[in-house]
A and B are shown apart, each in its own frame.
Chain A
Amino acid sequence: MMTRRAILTRRDMIVTALAGAGGVLLSGCSRGELPPTYGHLLRMGDNLTYAAHRALLPHGLAREYGREHISSFPAIGTTNPADPSQPLAATLGQRYAGLRAGAFRDYRVSIEGRVARPGTYSLADLQRFPSRTQITRHTCEEGWSAIAEWTGVALGRVLAAAGTLPDARFVQFHAFDGLGDGIDMIDALHPQTLLAYGMNGQPLPIPHGGPLRLRVETQIGYKSVKYIDRIVVTDTFEDHGPAGYLHYGWSWYAGI
């Protein structure tokens, strides 16, 4: 009888411990930090991953490599926004073709939204910021990886120059190939998150997103938006509709 009672007590302890752990996870999910449009059955796991990563993972730097580790690197997705066969390229593609013809001298990336000083930056303006060069691994959701040297300005420096307002929560990127995506401020302010204008010591090649692409080393490759046109800081989550990946069932948080 005593043994049975002891087992029940132990069981109660286990149940209490599990309920406590569940409570911690649930409270992590209910802080209003999750994107509000982000919810069907498969998104439960993605939400849990996002909440768990943000609650549990210590901050650090992604591994950086030596120049001898630079590898071959497939260019996938859009490889030329001016290509008339691109489904979303009608107007933006024309504008991109014009800028490309002028060697991107007239290219300006705009920073708008929840910032004190909205404005536009040419490539020369971006290059006047302190630059950062890092040799990092690109991890594609398809399963492959490649290492390249990226040169650019930390997104955090540009956001600081533009003066993000206290309610800023997400940074959205709109691209010349008609695609759009966003990241939260934790990824945006990570020191290795770059607006990259150089790859392997050269100006960023067109197939890899020239003249300007995002590098988010804490995320899977598809979050590294190529061909950036506009950067919009928002206080609410934006799913980018058919321009975004969410529309097609992809995770918004792709840190795993």
Chain B
Amino acid sequence: MSVDGARHASSHHPAWTRCAHWVAAVSILVLAFTGFVILMAHPRLYWGDVGNGLTPALIELPISPNYRHGGWASVTPFFDRTGSPVSASRTFPLFNENAWGRSLHFLTAWLLTLTGLAYLAAGVLTGHLRRRIVPAAGDLAPARLSEDVRRHVRFAVRRDAGSPYGTLQKIAYTFVIVFLLPLAGLTGVTMSPAVTTAFPFLLTLFGGMQSARTIHFGVWMALMGFLLVHVVMVVATGFRQHMRAMTIGDR
């Protein structure tokens, strides 16, 4: 094997991918935390365009003092008919840390968006995404795929010879980079009145502002699941070595 081939076989990460990785890691953690704080203000999820404390919820999450509050003063119908939508005033103090929560969420979203776009541009131009991240046809061959699954089930993960990432690893990274993170961004801006005024098709695409919010929450759970598995795999396959490779580089 040539010197060049050996370098590719190692887990060497170019400086720009190391930078992008850690900016993304910190951003995703801050977004996850501030997103949770924002969700605590109204821990109910809905489908469609509308959902509020006076309408049924799809899911009510037991995550804040606002969970199952139930406190509404005199309910007034808007129309003189049965089943009319109603108005009511809230009678309980709301837990709401959205002032700094929202601003920090959006500041961090800008950081992740700009980093992500730079990463994608560099990844396409340098061939990094094609060579190392996106699964190749060979990776997806049933034999290779089933072998990688079996290795994971047996907790016997090794690196594939000649390729820094295994098939499942490539699938997971690609899924996060080209599907989950863009979906998080798109469902996020679908909650913005200014953005959907400019691009109403976003509301059609996700089935409404509240559906987008619910999908945004689903993406959050998927990303947290990925993070958990990612960290477990890093620890299981050599924490010190991976951390050195991903921070100062391994050569």
A133 within 8 A of partner (CB): no
Q: For the complex, give the distance between the alpha carbons of A244 and B127 in Å.
A: 51
Q: For the complex, give the distance between the alpha carbons of A44 and B85 in Å.
A: 40
Partner of B198, one of A60, A71, A141, A245: A60
Partner of B99, one of A74, A75, A147, A249: A249
B194 within 8 A of partner (CB): yes
Asked, given contacts A218-B197, A249-B103, whether A139 binds B209 with beta carbons under 8 Å apart, the answer is: yes
A208 partner residues in chain B, CB cutoff 8 A: 87
B196 within 8 A of partner (CB): yes
Q: Which residue of A lies closest to B192 (CB)?
A: A256
User: Scoring B residues 85 to 127 as 1 if CB is less than 8 Å from chain A, else 0, what string do you get?
Assistant: 1111110001010111011101111100000001001100110
User: Scoring A residues 27 to 52 as 1 if CB is less than 8 Å from chain B, else 0, what string do you get?
Assistant: 00000000000000111111011000
Partner of B53, one of A45, A63, A74: A74
CB <8 Å contact, A71 and B85: yes
User: Scoring A residues 121 to 163 as 1 if CB is less than 8 Å from chain B, else 0, what string do you get?
Assistant: 0000000000000000101111111111000000000000000
Q: How far is the CB of A179 from chain B (nearest CB, A)?
A: 15
CB <8 Å contact, A142 and B98: yes
Partner of B106, one of A49, A57, A61, A202: A49
A218 partner residues in chain B, CB cutoff 8 A: 193-194, 197
A69 partner residues in chain B, CB cutoff 8 A: 49-50
User: Scoring A residues 61 to 75 as 1 if CB is less than 8 Å from chain B, else 0, what string do you get?
Assistant: 111010001111111
* Number of A residues with CB within 8 Å of any CB on chain B: 61
- Mark the stretch among A10-18, A110-118, A226-234 that contacts chain B: A10-18
Asked, given contacts A145-B210, A249-B103, whether A256 binds B87 with beta carbons under 8 Å apart, the answer is: no
Partner of A63, one of B44, B72, B192, B203: B203
Q: For the complex, give the distance between the alpha carbons of A245 and B213 in Å.
A: 24
B85 partner residues in chain A, CB cutoff 8 A: 70-73
CB <8 Å contact, B89 and A65: no
The range of chain B's interface size is 35 or more
Q: Which of A46, A73, A148 has the most CB of B within 10 A?
A: A73
CB <8 Å contact, B195 and A57: yes
B94 partner residues in chain A, CB cutoff 8 A: 76, 142
A41 partner residues in chain B, CB cutoff 8 A: 107
Asked, given contacts A143-B38, A143-B213, A251-B102, whether A219 binds B110 with beta carbons under 8 Å apart, the answer is: no
CB <8 Å contact, A18 and B49: no
B76 within 8 A of partner (CB): yes
Q: How far is the CB of A166 from chain B (nearest CB, A)?
A: 25
Q: How far is the CB of B99 from chain A (nearest CB, A)?
A: 4
CB <8 Å contact, B42 and A142: yes
CB <8 Å contact, B44 and A45: no
Q: For the complex, give the distance between the alpha carbons of A251 and B98 in Å.
A: 10
Asked, given contacts A59-B198, A73-B52, A144-B44, whether A18 binds B78 with beta carbons under 8 Å apart, the answer is: no
A120 within 8 A of partner (CB): no
Q: How far is the CB of B72 from chain A (nearest CB, A)?
A: 8
CB <8 Å contact, A75 and B87: yes
Partner of A72, one of B86, B103, B191: B86
CB <8 Å contact, A147 and B49: yes
Partner of B89, one of A43, A59, A79: A79
CB <8 Å contact, B53 and A62: no
A63 partner residues in chain B, CB cutoff 8 A: 49, 196-197, 200, 203
Q: A58-B199, A142-B96 are in contact. List 20 more A-B contacts (CB 8 A).
A: A10-B126, A14-B118, A46-B103, A46-B106, A57-B195, A60-B199, A62-B197, A137-B49, A137-B193, A139-B191, A139-B193, A142-B94, A143-B213, A144-B52, A145-B49, A148-B78, A205-B87, A208-B87, A249-B100, A251-B103
Which 3 A-B residue pairings sit nearest by Cβ, starting from the closest? A45-B107, A255-B194, A143-B42
